[in-house]
A and B are shown apart, each in its own frame.
Chain A
């Protein structure tokens, strides 16, 4: 049978023109600027940077504008853009203990050096719609207080882990460069560095749901939020022209240190183990979900049961990426006319055979 496989150019061009018009919305309403999105829809920008795996607030804001606010579409745009750029190298590992801390809380130790700093947070709000925001008006400036003399805020766990009853995170032998999923495919068993990169760029909804599942009993990890911090960190890299590290500016980051009860194994005494999560910008929900899943994926190396989905490294890592997931799901929209035609023929033949068998059985019964 003849199947049309070409055509539709005019329809596609017109569909895209309509998309542009729809994106603009009612022209009587002022148009949003990219800078307005960057400044006033910051958390949307942060998520696009994290899962788009590219720290650039202007580009993430542009992607959101182009995608009409669709996060996964904006993430896709950012991922596509990065493939057009050369890679200058890698930064030195960022030092989060040197963070200019805007927020830092611990749910395991009350009295921590530097204190519990709430920062700017939705926590403790009543989640009631604020109709005042429908009117224009500037908020009152945030109150200030004298900052601590010591600006460096070391990690809670590193400071208070006197008995070493919490696992200590040390660099691998020789402190090797990590594998890079943008340059090499996933391989199994995936080392922790590969898992962390996958989770860092993974879909927030998926990572959150997997983390939630561990709390509900699928791969239970007995977690406590050891520390959550948010702020800016300096980024250093070594330009080949210089041969020494230079500071190229700051990025904003959120980090979660999860602490998990662990009964011990043949080689390890009972202790608390750890899971780690990080996101660009301010992304606590993502960083916490990631930390839960990181720990759940360590089940095998810690000699625990691995029978729940969040312990299944292949299952988690293969399904965390929303750009891949949306691509494979949405490709179903593309023409499958030939495939379906052949399936139609198969199902018709099966029906004929089934009907013939039924008739034969009826005839046999009658006789």
Chain B
């Protein structure tokens, strides 16, 4: 069984992945895993909370759409998928992968061949945004008046 921190970090990566990538990862496994749906995939809402001044008392900003699903892989762990957006299939795939990543024959390989490269790609995308932002940073200079 993996630690909660490890599980949190792959769930964060899977939640940001494209559905097609997750679909291909599951289809690519041999023998093909099978699973039982514990809670069918559904889409709904989560109320996004903020804080006054960023650090103060809580208030509700507005809702966001969320899809979720719970599955259990055959002879294995229970997996949970909660993802931003309305893609129910993606929530199911995240749940399946969450279960497979916890233990069993695919855990190691999925971590190496799916989660690690996805995390790398997401960090690279973030760095691209930050480097565009960095190019718009103001360099102040002081005008010297008179002699």
The winner among B42, B44, B83 for most chain A CB atoms within 10 A is B44
Tell me the chain B residues, 40-57 only, with Cβ under 8 Å from chain A.
42-57
**A251 to chain B: closest residue by CB:** B64
Q: Does A20 contact B (CB under 8 A)?
A: no
- Mask, B107-126, CB within 8 Å of A = 1, is 00000000000000000001
Bound CA span A93–B47, Å: 10
- Closest Cβ of chain A to B71, distance in Å, is 11
* A357: chain B residues within 8 A (beta carbon): none
Q: Does A9 contact B (CB under 8 A)?
A: no
- Closest Cβ of chain A to B46, distance in Å, is 5
Query: Is there contact, CB below 8 Å, between A92 and B134?
Result: no
- Closest Cβ of chain B to A147, distance in Å, is 4
Query: Is there contact, CB below 8 Å, between B131 and A193?
Result: no
Bound CA span A280–B84, Å: 14
Query: Is there contact, CB below 8 Å, between B62 and A246?
Result: no
Tell me the chain A residues, 248-282 only, with Cβ under 8 Å from chain B.
248-251, 255, 257, 274, 276, 278, 280
Query: Is there contact, CB below 8 Å, between B138 and A116?
Result: yes
Tell me whether A193 and B62 are in contact in the complex, defined as CB-CB below 8 angstroms, given that A145-B135, A151-B130, A249-B84 are known contacts: no
Query: Is there contact, CB below 8 Å, between A146 and B60?
Result: no
* B56: chain A residues within 8 A (beta carbon): 169-172, 276
Bound CA span A90–B59, Å: 11
Tell me whether A91 and B55 are in contact in the complex, defined as CB-CB below 8 angstroms, given that A100-B126, A102-B129, A147-B127 are known contacts: no
Query: Is there contact, CB below 8 Å, between B137 and A117?
Result: yes
* A170: chain B residues within 8 A (beta carbon): 55-57
**B138 to chain A: closest residue by CB:** A116
Query: Is there contact, CB below 8 Å, between B129 and A56?
Result: no
Query: Is there contact, CB below 8 Å, between B138 and A178?
Result: no
- Closest Cβ of chain A to B41, distance in Å, is 12
Q: Does B34 contact A (CB under 8 A)?
A: no
Query: Is there contact, CB below 8 Å, between A171 and B51?
Result: yes
**A199 to chain B: closest residue by CB:** B59
Bound CA span A291–B129, Å: 27
Q: Does A352 contact B (CB under 8 A)?
A: no
The winner among A96, A148, A193, A246 for most chain B CB atoms within 10 A is A246
- Closest Cβ of chain A to B64, distance in Å, is 4
* A237: chain B residues within 8 A (beta carbon): 46, 66, 82
Query: Is there contact, CB below 8 Å, between A155 and B55?
Result: yes
Among B58, B68, B129, B133, point to the contact of A93 (Cβ < 8 A).
B58
Q: Does A213 contact B (CB under 8 A)?
A: no
Query: Is there contact, CB below 8 Å, between B54 and A96?
Result: yes
**B65 to chain A: closest residue by CB:** A56
Bound CA span A294–B52, Å: 10
Tell me the chain A residues, 222-254 only, with Cβ under 8 Å from chain B.
231-232, 234-235, 237, 239, 241-242, 244-251
Among B12, B63, B85, B131, point to the contact of A53 (Cβ < 8 A).
B63
Q: Does A358 contact B (CB under 8 A)?
A: no
Q: Does B132 contact A (CB under 8 A)?
A: yes
**B62 to chain A: closest residue by CB:** A53
Query: Is there contact, CB below 8 Å, between A244 and B8?
Result: yes
Q: Does B80 contact A (CB under 8 A)?
A: yes
Bound CA span A176–B83, Å: 26
Q: Does B15 contact A (CB under 8 A)?
A: yes
Bound CA span A287–B11, Å: 31
**A245 to chain B: closest residue by CB:** B8
- Closest Cβ of chain B to A221, distance in Å, is 15
* B15: chain A residues within 8 A (beta carbon): 246-249
* B63: chain A residues within 8 A (beta carbon): 53-55, 82, 87, 182
Q: Does A39 contact B (CB under 8 A)?
A: no
Among B47, B53, B131, point to the contact of A180 (Cβ < 8 A).
B47
- Mask, A92-105, CB within 8 Å of B = 1, is 11101100111100
Q: What 16 additional pairs, Cβ within 8 angstroms, besides A117-B136, A147-B134, A237-B66?
A: A54-B45, A85-B44, A85-B45, A87-B44, A87-B46, A92-B49, A115-B138, A169-B54, A175-B57, A193-B60, A196-B50, A246-B80, A249-B16, A255-B54, A280-B61, A280-B62
